[in-house]
Each structure stands twice: as structure tokens, then as C-alpha cells.
Structure 1
Amino acid sequence: MDKSWMTKSRGSREYMEGAEAFVKYAVTNSKNKNSIVCPCKKCGLKRSLRPEEVYDHLTGGRGMLSNYTEWIWHGEKIRAPVPNRVPNVVESLNPAPAADNIESIPDESRTMHAMLQDVFGMHDIRADDGECQVEVQAEDVPEAVEEEIDESAKKFYNLLKDADKPLHDKTKYSKLSAVVHLYNLKCVGGLSNAIFTSFLEFINELALTDEPALPNSTYEVKKYLRDLGLGYEKIPACRNNCMLFWKENEKLDTCTVCGKSKWKDEITEEDGSSRTSKRRPMKVLRWFPLASRLQRLYMSQHTASHMRWHTNERTKDGVLRHPADGEAWRAFDALHPDFASDPRNVRLGLASDGFNPFGHMSTSHSTWPVMLVPYNLPPWMCMKQPYFILSMIIPGPTSPGMNIDVYLQPLISELQELWNVGVRTFDISMKKSFVMRTALMWTINDFPAYADLSGWSTKGALACPCCMHSTKSTWLTYGRKFCYMGHRRWLPTDHNWRQNARSFDGKKELGVAPVVPDGDEILRQLQRLVCVNEDTEGGKRKRTVEQGHKANKEVVWKKKSIFFTLPYWKDNLLRHNLDVMHIEKNVMDNIIGTLLDMKEKTKDNHEARLDLRKMGLRKTLHPFTNERGKTYLPAACHTMSNEEKLNFLKVIKNVRVPDGYASNVSRCVNLKARTIVGLKSHDNHILMQQLLPIALRKSLPNKVVKPLVELSAFFRGICSKTLTEEDLARHEAEIPIILCKLEQTFPPGFFTIMVHVVIHLVRECRLGGPVHYRWMYPIER
């Protein structure tokens, strides 16, 4: 068939007629005339739909997969799959003859073929009389890797034979597909190694064959699947997170910092000496080397061509749709033109957070996976789970804290090598080898992890990592915490609110908005930083930080981050992202807790009123005591009556949303107690951006409702999938006014650090692009 229609505009007549002819062709060659595999960009050959639905997907805005040029899933004959980047040394391997038509290959084997091709990069080789004939130019394969390719080809053909040979005559599953399916069930179901071994042994007994049809144990399964590249390296670590027993320290038995043994299960002999029973390390870091996983992105036909999308196919009209549209990306290209000259060089984001791997909250345990996100991919692939790269798993049971840099050493070392030297990679979409280099653009993390990765303490008087030493905070004597107000600094210098001390914090505002320090300024601050590790009674190490230039000032830098060892890190305009997901959640918690006067969650309590009296603000709200000695708190403008609370909660409880749009928020509403409890992060997202403006309409005065509705619109605006400079300029002018209105309404305790950092979100959107590429939702899912 003529396939030129695939490159035409989806609204053109040629495209519509070509899509219709394709659907008819697929139905003619399909065994099941009622459904065919959908090749649109969203379905990606993973769903079978009715022919008319497939036609709607192809013409209704999704379009055909650009790299699906051989219609092997719709009846087109293909050549046998054989390696692409393999030299003639593999001709003697003599694989099993391939079929002439893809329909003659069982579905399971066809799936295994595709998986093996993506793992090993083996494509576009023909089989002739049962022998491999390689169609790769000699200059495409570097001599230095011929031996490595030969070994890879052997593994490929060994697994290919297992993928083609059914377990017996009455099954569609081969040995490879059966092992992959069973091991996937083990992982998803959480089966122990012992149970899975017993399960395999029982299956082999049922097979009644002379030789075991499947591996007999979990160990044999892992060894069998190791050739798929699913392995990792184990690196022992100090129990106190002081160091890794890695490289030159690999053979040491004790930590060079704290002196603790590397091993556990030590047994004391009668003579007082000690020995170790099984020599098991106390802590083990699982490290998944990065280079081979990045190479695989170019080995797979599904991703190789998309890795150049940010340069070749991105619409460059000034609208922010992708991180490549942001100022940080453009500034990086300007500073490093040699890196930017090849669009195949990979840009990464790093995300890390702790979680409890045991599936229940009764156990206090924190394991930290470190994920990498390739930003070369287009919007419909970027930030999706199949394209995340697991880089390492930092062991628990406690958070590594500021010592996370110890565990990041292998990754940072590899990133330095991938920047300075690169790695030889074969691009299946261009049929050429190139030297792939890699750069880390920024990190994605919640606010506590922000401190661990950046080294700036996100607690105390100077908690804002953007304002840094210019952070304006006030200690609340009775509330026993800091509040962060002073948002009038971002208003125009002639704004009348700057002179209004009475409605805000009791002072006139003459300052200007702080400037975020660049990398050079941060390095100058870190030059005077001295970190000392001291022993504590529990045997752990305590980090003491001293800063020589001002010994009496609070020291907020806790360390010099390991990321500054990357040559380009100090020049990045956006190094660490403020996570909008957690910010939105915390802001919503403050609003709901205060409006509903929920115990232990409200920011307007007796201590807050005492702080107002101490600060000399809003005298009508100061607590007073009657003749009987009972203390009363006068009602504030944001105080709801019981009837208003019920009306507010009924709106939320009675709301019905489309399936998959949000969870059942009504289950969190307790009308009897007049509270909302148990909201998840996404529930707060929906409440803030959609439900709050509706529920508040007739519950509170306009001066309270209006800034909250404007705050809702602000979050909805910055979370849009596309942003323009006009949008950003409008949001940047609106947010200080919104926060100043809230300062006039709510008590100082309302303004936690998470409320304050909202002022910096527009700047990060301008630098990094749309929010959904830089928040924790996809990572935490």
C-alpha cells in the first residue's frame, strides 16, 4: 500500500482516505474481523479496538505512530528479526530459521521478539538458509566494541531460541515468555523466594518431562533473566551512612569515619575475638548503572526517533509546552553549544523520596529510590512510568538525610563520565553510532528532600531556599514557630499597601523583592562552610556546621551538595524544583483547617490570638476574659458558623465527578463532626482548583472568599499544560496581591513556609516550563 499519507496533515483528504484504506487492509488480514490493534500514538499497538474506533483514533487528533512503517501487526510481511549493530562474527551462531510471515509466529513469541530486539538493539537483519547475514556497514560499528557485540549477539540468539520454542505442543507459551510472566507475577504479588521456588518445582513436576521445562529455583530464574539487562550492582555501605565500601575502599572491613564494622551478625568467640557468620553487609546500596539503560533508549525503535523530538519536531512559537521551551534549557544550550549541537544528547531530571516498602504504616521504615527522567521525549511520553529509569535504591530503615550524598557517589561519578567522555551508542532510527553525552538539568523532590539534596536547611528563620538570607520571618512567641509574611516586597514601590502598617505586620514595607543567588554566589557562601562529624551516645554521627564569616548568625548551609561536582551544575538556572503537589496540599490544609476550625489543624487558635495581642495587631480579635474567668475568642471575618460549615461541607460531599477524574472526596467529609479528614494529595488538588470556589460562594464574606478564589485560579493557571509569557506576567503580578489580601485576613500563623514559597512558583515555570514535568505526582504514583 501507499504509505505517504502517514506524513500528511491529519485534516487533509489524503490522510483521511489513507487511514480508511489502512483500516480496511487491517480488517482483511485480521483473523478477528471485529477488532484490530490500534496504532495511534496513545494506544501504541497495546489495545485491540473495533475498526471504526481505530479510524476515529487515527483521524481524531491522535494520529498514527510515526515510526510504525512496517505494519507487522496488521498483516504485512516482514523480514526476520536479526541484530542491527552486529558484525559478521555472528554468522556462525546459526539461529533458528525465521518465518516468512509474522502471522506464522505465535502472539507470545512475537511479543518476546519485540522485547528482545529492544533490549539488545537487534533489528533489520535477514535470515538466509538458517544463517545470519548481517546488513550493517563496517564504519557503523566501532572496533573497540566488536567483542562486546559478539557476546551480546550470543545472548540474543540463545534467548531467541527459547522465545521460538513452545514448552509443549498444546501451549502458546515458550520457555522465555513463561519465565517472564511467572517472574512478573512473583514481583507484583510479593511472593517470597522460597514460595516461588516451591511453585517452580511443582510446575516442573506437573510437566512430566525428562528435563525440567522451567528453572527450578528463584536463583536460576534470576540468572536466566540476567541477560535481559535487569541486573544491578550491590555496594555495601556504613551503618551510619558515613561512606560506601566502593572502589578503593571495597576491601575494607570497617568504616574509616566512625570505625564501625561493615558486617552484621558478628559472633564473639570464647577468647574475646569476633568473627562473622555469613559476612553479610549491614547496609547495601542497589545501584543500576545508567549508561546501558540510556543506550537502550536508542536501541528500541519505539523510543529512538522520539529522543530528538525536542529539537526536530517541537513547535517553537514561544508557548511553553515542554521543558525545552523554558529559559533554563535555552540558557544551558547557550553556555554549552557543543552539547546542544547533537539533539541525541540526553537531558535528565533526578527525583527521590522516601517510602515504606512494606505496604502498611505500622512499621517505621524509609527506603529511598532515586529515579531519573529523560526530558528528550515528547509530552505524550515524558513523565510516563515506562520511561522512568530507576538509578539506585538507598536502604532504610531511616532516611539518609544530609548524608544522601554518600549514596549518590556512583551516580554522580557516572554522570561526570557521561558528560566529559560520553558513551558510544548505536541509534537504530538513524542506523549510525554516535557518542552520547548526558546532563542533569534539575532535581524533583518534596520540601524536606529539597534540604537533603541542596544542602540549604528548609527550617528556621531562613527557610526559604529562594530568598535565602533575605527571607523575612517573624518568631511567634505563643505559637512557638516562625511565620513568613512580608509579601509586600513584591508589590510596586509606589503601592499604597507598602505604607499601611496597621493591616499587615505592624511595619511599613520599604524593601524590594530579593534576587535569587546564582551558582557563583552560592559557591562563595559555601567556601566558608566547615562540616564536622561528631560521635553521639547512640553510636551515630552528628553533623556540626560552622560558618566563619558570621559565627553569631544562624547557619543554614548544612553541606556543599555533591551536585556541584558536576562541571555544569553551578551554571544551571534551576537546580532544585519547588514541588507544586506538596505546596498545594499544605496550602489547602491550612485553608480547610482554619475555615472549619479543626482542632490541631486550625491556624486561628488561642495561641494565635495571643500573638496578635503581643504584636499589637487587630485589637478586635484579642482574647478577653469574662467575670467568671472564662476566656473567649472573638469571631474573625473567616470564622464560619455551624450552619455555614454544614453548607460548605454538603457541597463537597454531594459532588459527583467523572470516573478517574478524582477519588471519592465525599468519603472524607464528616457532617456530624463538621470536618474533612483523610484527603490525599490529589484530593487537595481537585479541591483547590475546582471545588473550593464553588463551596465558598455563600459561606463567607466577599473579602475572605475573593482572595481564596483568586488563589484557586492562580494554581489552576500555573498547572496548565501550556503557558505563554502573557500568562506568566499576569500570574506574577497577581500572586503578591493575593498573598497580601490573605495577610489582611488570616492570622500570622497561617503563613507557613509552604504558603510563602507560592510567590516563587511563577519564576520556576518561566525557567523550567509547565509544572507537570517537575512535580511529584508521577514519581509518587
Structure 2
Amino acid sequence: MAEEDMNADVHNMQSEESHWGQHYTHRIHSDNFYSLLKDAEVELYPGCKNFTKFSFAIYLFHIKCFNGWTNKSFNALLELLKLVLPEGNTLPRSYQEMKKMISALSLGYEKIHACPNDCILFWKENANEDKCTKCGASRWKESLNDGKNDSEDAFTKKKKKATKILRWFPLIPRLQRLFMSSKTASLMTWHEHERTKDGCQRHPADSQAWKELDSRYPQFSSDPRNVRLGLASDGFNPFKTMTIVHSAWPVILIPYNLPLWMCMKQSNFILSLLIPGPKGPGNNIDVYLQPLIEELQVLWEVGIETFDAATNQIFQLHAAVIWTINDFPAYANLSRWSTKGEYACPCCGYDANSKWLKHSRKHCYMGHRRWLKPNHRFRNDKLSFDGTQEFRNAPLPSSGIEVLRQVEDMNGSKDGPWKKKSIFFTLPYWKHLLLRHNLDVMHIEKKCM
């Protein structure tokens, strides 16, 4: 089934080539791309009906990545398959040859060196630095060549390896590719043209947060092709054994324009950043988010010329992250509100009702009856609770503008719940979003129920 879908997409793009090739090919490295389309038509071997040269390469490459095969073992497999398949087969002879063919998709990544203490990225004005400009830590790993004489400096420099490397998967070309197939391009407007609008909550487009963004920025919402994104991030151990303590942090974007049965499928997630371990970035995650935030600023303020295969037109594509999704500790890292201590609840804010337990040496959180109806019997029940009656109203969550004002009033102090101004506030629309951060239900539903 996947084979048929992939071939259908390639045929789709190939049939539309005459409509847009003369206008848009310079933006997608046309020579490599059209070579890829030709490979999608080439038989794996004469008479093969199940695979083409390209689809078989994709299947093998997929298996290699998911099972952690080494390049050496993969080359050995290709050599064997080359001998086993009928004469005249078009299977690549080596991993490098296959990788070169697949790279025509232009979905690679860029490596950006980072300070081992998560202070800065060695890019832009710091691209040529050998030490962190904040903490002085070396950019490079120590090697056996260190300390040799100056005559060997040129040779030694080639052997240097970065201590920490951020892998950045540029978002813009990945969003553009969503519109290169007429089938996918038409689905990117599903939320506007085909969604059932009966007041029920089925899709993020039914939410008040989505509608608030549309009403505040009518120019953005006027084109349903403009992409609304969710951002999710959390740490995971990339190794198969839990005896190794290692936490790598992927930053994943979810395109919500797609139908509800597609937008949350793993195949439609967009990996944007892979933050290296062995420790999580913690409150320094903003350092690693810089390349993504810069792209999001361009996508909001300027937009990117993109070809829409569904309409055979070029349009200016814009995009916006409408919220983040994370567990409670990561909530603190992304929002910069401390989720520990006296004011742990980001919704209650400074109105949190906490009590220090002397013997347990921790805070407990009271005042839950504030969310009950005014005439609820629990509000007057002293015996079953803490010996008090509760007549207060539930606290109102702070708006983005109020949060921004609170952060700007910090004057460099880190004593309160706010630790720093979040990098997301550099996005012009962030302070106007109704719901900026979501908690991942997977981590809290058991405790709530």
C-alpha cells in the first residue's frame, strides 16, 4: 500500500511538471529533482512489478535507519543483493550511491556546533570561535594530537571534532514540499473547506485559540493554505539499553491544516531540531531553538514563495506556531515559568494557594474548591477539607501581554517564578495567543483520574 501511495505521489508531481517547471524549478534544484522522478519510473530489474529503483532504495534505507545497521554491513547487503537480483538490475552498488540518489529530495539537515554547557551556538557571529564566549569552554573535543608542535597545526585542525552538535532540519523546504503533490496540497485546506462546523470540538481548528488567531490576524487567516503548527518536545533515550543515561531532545512540529485523521499521524510530523545529549538542555533550550525561531519569524513576517500543485499557482506561504505540547517539567523549560515551589501552577500564577509542609519539607497545593460553582456544598464544608470555608473565585490565567509585562518587570532578578523571557515572545503574534502551552495528557491523565 505504501508503495502504491508513493508511486502515485511521484506520478502526480510528474504530470504537473509542465505547468510549473518553467517558473519554479530553480527553487528545488530541478536537475536533481527531475532525475529523482526518472528514477521513480525505472524498474528495479526487467519485468519487476512490485518495486522501482527508487522505492526499493527507500525501503532498504528505511530498514537500515530503524535497525541501526552500520554503513559497512549495509554495503555488504547491497553487494549480495546486486548478485542475487536478475541481470540488468538498477540497484545502487553502495550506500554512498544510494544516499546520493535519495539526497535529491533536499530533505537533509545542517550541523551547528554548540557550547558543551549549552551557553551559545557556534553560528552567525560566533561561527569562527573556538571557545564559548560566555563560559570559555572549548568548542572541540580533546584529542591525542593536542599539545603537538606548531608545524602540525594544519593537520591537527582537520582532526578536530565538535563537543556538541545540534542537528537542524530546515522547516521551510519541508513546508514547501507539502504543496508539491496536488493530493496533499488540497488536504492542506481541509480545515477551512471540508471541516464540519457544528460547534463540536474535533480538530484544533474548532478551538477558541485557533479562532482567536484568525480574528486578530485576518490577513494570515484569509489564505487557508497558511500553516498552523503545534510544537512538541521532550527528552528520550536513543539507546536500546536503559543502563546508559542519555537524554536527546527532538523538537517536532505538527501541521494542523491536515484532516483530523492525518495531522496526528507520525508520518506527517516534521522533525525540526535534534538537541544532543547526554543531558537535556533544561532552561537553556532557548539557545537551541534559535534556528527554528528565525525561520518562524521569516514565515510570519515575509513568507516564502511556494508552488501549490492543487491550483498550479505560486503563492506566499506563511506559518505560525499556535501552541506547544509538553510534559510538566518541559513546560517550565519552554515557558520559563518555574513549575516547582510555591508558585508551581502556571495557570494560577501568583494566585496559587500553596502550603509548606514542615515535616515533609515540600509544598502542597490547596484551594481546589475555587473552581466549584458558587453554591456548591463543598465550599461550606470545613470538616472534610482544611477547616475553612471557600468563597473565592477561580484565578484567571494571565494573558500573553500580562506575562510579557511580568517578565519585563523582573529587572534581571531570578528570585520569582519567572526565570527568563521565553524566546517564543520574539514571535510577533505570541503574546496574543489565547493558549500558548499545552500539557501532554499522556503524562497526567492517570493522576487526574
**Structures share a fold, TM > 0.5?**
yes
Matching of residue 556 in structure 1 with residue 435 in structure 2? no
Q: Percent identity?
A: 54
Deviations 1:641-687 (A, max 9, x none): xxxxxxxxxxxxxxxxxxxxxxxxxxxxxxxxxxxxxxxxxxxxxxx
> Cα distance 1:310–1:171, how it changes in 2: closer, same or farther (>3 A)?
closer
Are the aligned partners of 1:239 and 1:262 in contact in 2 as well (CA < 8 Å)? Answer: yes
Could you tell me which residue of structure 1 aligns to residue 8 of structure 2? 114
Matching of residue 296 in structure 1 with residue 177 in structure 2? yes
How far apart in 1 are the matches of 2:81 and 2:375?
80
Deviations 1:22-46 (A, max 9, x none): xxxxxxxxxxxxxxxxxxxxxxxx3
Deviations 1:87-140 (A, max 9, x none): xxxxxxxxxxxxxxxxxxxxx7x766434357xx44335xxxxxxxx34598xx
Indicate the SS of the match to 2:108. Answer: coil
Deviation at 1:317, TM superposition (A): 2.1
Deviations 1:206-229 (A, max 9, x none): 5697x9954444333222210023
Deviations 1:501-547 (A, max 9, x none): 3321123334321111111111111113355xxxxxxxxxxxxxx25
Deviation at 1:194, TM superposition (A): 2.2
Matching of residue 189 in structure 1 with residue 67 in structure 2? yes
> Cα distance 1:303–1:270, how it changes in 2: closer, same or farther (>3 A)?
closer
Matching of residue 325 in structure 1 with residue 206 in structure 2? yes
Could you tell me which residue of structure 2 aligns to residue 161 of structure 1? 38
Which residue identity is paired with 1:324?
A: A
Which residue identity is paired with 1:234?
A: K
> Cα distance 1:379–1:112, how it changes in 2: closer, same or farther (>3 A)?
closer
Could you tell me which residue of structure 2 aligns to residue 387 of structure 1? 268
Deviations 1:127-180 (A, max 9, x none): xxxxxxx34598xx3xxx55335x42x223322333333344364444323322
Are the aligned partners of 2:45 and 2:89 in contact in 1 as well (CA < 8 Å)? Answer: no
Matching of residue 459 in structure 1 with residue 340 in structure 2? yes
Are the aligned partners of 2:44 and 2:89 in contact in 1 as well (CA < 8 Å)? Answer: no
Matching of residue 244 in structure 1 with residue 121 in structure 2? yes
Could you tell me which residue of structure 2 aligns to residue 602 of structure 1? none
Are the aligned partners of 1:264 and 1:276 in contact in 2 as well (CA < 8 Å)? Answer: no
How far apart in 1 are the matches of 2:447 and 2:95?
44
> Cα distance 1:170–1:493, how it changes in 2: closer, same or farther (>3 A)?
closer
Matching of residue 358 in structure 1 with residue 239 in structure 2? yes
Q: Which has the larger radius of gyration?
A: 1
Deviation at 1:366, TM superposition (A): 0.6
How far apart in 2 are the matches of 1:509 and 1:403?
40
Could you tell me which residue of structure 2 aligns to residue 769 of structure 1? none
Could you tell me which residue of structure 2 aligns to residue 579 of structure 1? 440
How far apart in 1 are the matches of 2:38 and 2:20?
22
How far apart in 2 are the matches of 1:213 and 1:234?
32
Deviation at 1:325, TM superposition (A): 1.5
How far apart in 1 are the matches of 2:301 and 2:425?
15
Deviation at 1:483, TM superposition (A): 1.3
Aligned-pair RMSD on alpha carbons?
2.6
Deviation at 1:189, TM superposition (A): 2.0
Which residue identity is paired with 1:505?
A: D
Deviation at 1:564, TM superposition (A): 0.4
Q: Any residues of structure 2 matched to 1:44-55 within 5 Å, and which?
A: 46=1
> Cα distance 1:251–1:475, how it changes in 2: closer, same or farther (>3 A)?
same
Deviation at 1:494, TM superposition (A): 4.9
Matching of residue 340 in structure 1 with residue 217 in structure 2? no
Are the aligned partners of 2:112 and 2:167 in contact in 1 as well (CA < 8 Å)? Answer: yes
1:200 pairs with 78, 81, 84, which one?
Answer: 78
Name the TM-score, length of structure 1 as normaliser: 0.54
Which residue identity is paired with 2:27?
A: E
Deviations 1:192-211 (A, max 9, x none): 222212322344455697x9
Could you tell me which residue of structure 2 aligns to residue 88 of structure 1? none
Name the TM-score, length of structure 2 as normaliser: 0.91
1:421 pairs with 299, 302, 321, which one?
Answer: 302
Which residue identity is paired with 2:316?
A: V
2:197 pairs with 309, 316, 330, which one?
Answer: 316
Which residue identity is paired with 1:116?
A: V
Which residue identity is paired with 1:255?
A: C
Which residue identity is paired with 1:192?
A: T
Which residue identity is paired with 1:163?
A: A
Deviation at 1:493, TM superposition (A): 4.1
Deviation at 1:409, TM superposition (A): 0.5
Deviation at 1:277, TM superposition (A): 6.2
Are the aligned partners of 2:45 and 2:85 in contact in 1 as well (CA < 8 Å)? Answer: no
2:15 pairs with 101, 108, 123, which one?
Answer: 123
2:402 pairs with 491, 500, 521, which one?
Answer: 521
Matching of residue 479 in structure 1 with residue 360 in structure 2? yes
> Cα distance 1:159–1:270, how it changes in 2: closer, same or farther (>3 A)?
closer
Could you tell me which residue of structure 1 aligns to residue 330 of structure 2? 449
Which residue identity is paired with 2:442?
A: M
How far apart in 1 are the matches of 2:392 and 2:197?
38
Which residue identity is paired with 2:429?
A: Y
Which residue identity is paired with 2:435?
A: L
Deviation at 1:269, TM superposition (A): 2.1
Pick 1 or 2: higher relative contact order, CA cutoff 8 A, min separation 6.
2
Are the aligned partners of 1:116 and 1:156 in contact in 2 as well (CA < 8 Å)? Answer: no
How far apart in 2 are the matches of 1:247 and 1:378?
38
Could you tell me which residue of structure 2 aligns to residue 732 of structure 1? none
> Cα distance 1:393–1:177, how it changes in 2: closer, same or farther (>3 A)?
same
Deviations 1:353-375 (A, max 9, x none): 11111122111111111111111
> Cα distance 1:323–1:171, how it changes in 2: closer, same or farther (>3 A)?
closer
Are the aligned partners of 1:113 and 1:160 in contact in 2 as well (CA < 8 Å)? Answer: no
Are the aligned partners of 2:189 and 2:225 in contact in 1 as well (CA < 8 Å)? Answer: yes
Deviation at 1:578, TM superposition (A): 2.2
Task: Show structure 1 runs of 5+ residues with no match.
Answer: 1-45, 48-107, 126-133, 532-545, 548-553, 588-687, 689-781
Indicate the SS of the match to 1:302. Answer: helix
Which residue identity is paired with 1:444?
A: I
Could you tell me which residue of structure 2 aligns to residue 375 of structure 1? 256
> Cα distance 1:248–1:472, how it changes in 2: closer, same or farther (>3 A)?
same
Are the aligned partners of 1:263 and 1:276 in contact in 2 as well (CA < 8 Å)? Answer: no
Which residue identity is paired with 1:156?
A: F
Are the aligned partners of 1:112 and 1:163 in contact in 2 as well (CA < 8 Å)? Answer: no
Are the aligned partners of 2:130 and 2:140 in contact in 1 as well (CA < 8 Å)? Answer: yes
Could you tell me which residue of structure 1 aligns to residue 350 of structure 2? 469
Matching of residue 224 in structure 1 with residue 101 in structure 2? yes
Q: Any residues of structure 2 matched to 1:343-742 within 5 Å, and which?
A: 343-529=224-410, 546-547=413-414, 555-587=416-448
Indicate the SS of the match to 1:441. Answer: strand
How far apart in 2 are the matches of 1:498 and 1:180?
62
Are the aligned partners of 2:246 and 2:278 in contact in 1 as well (CA < 8 Å)? Answer: yes
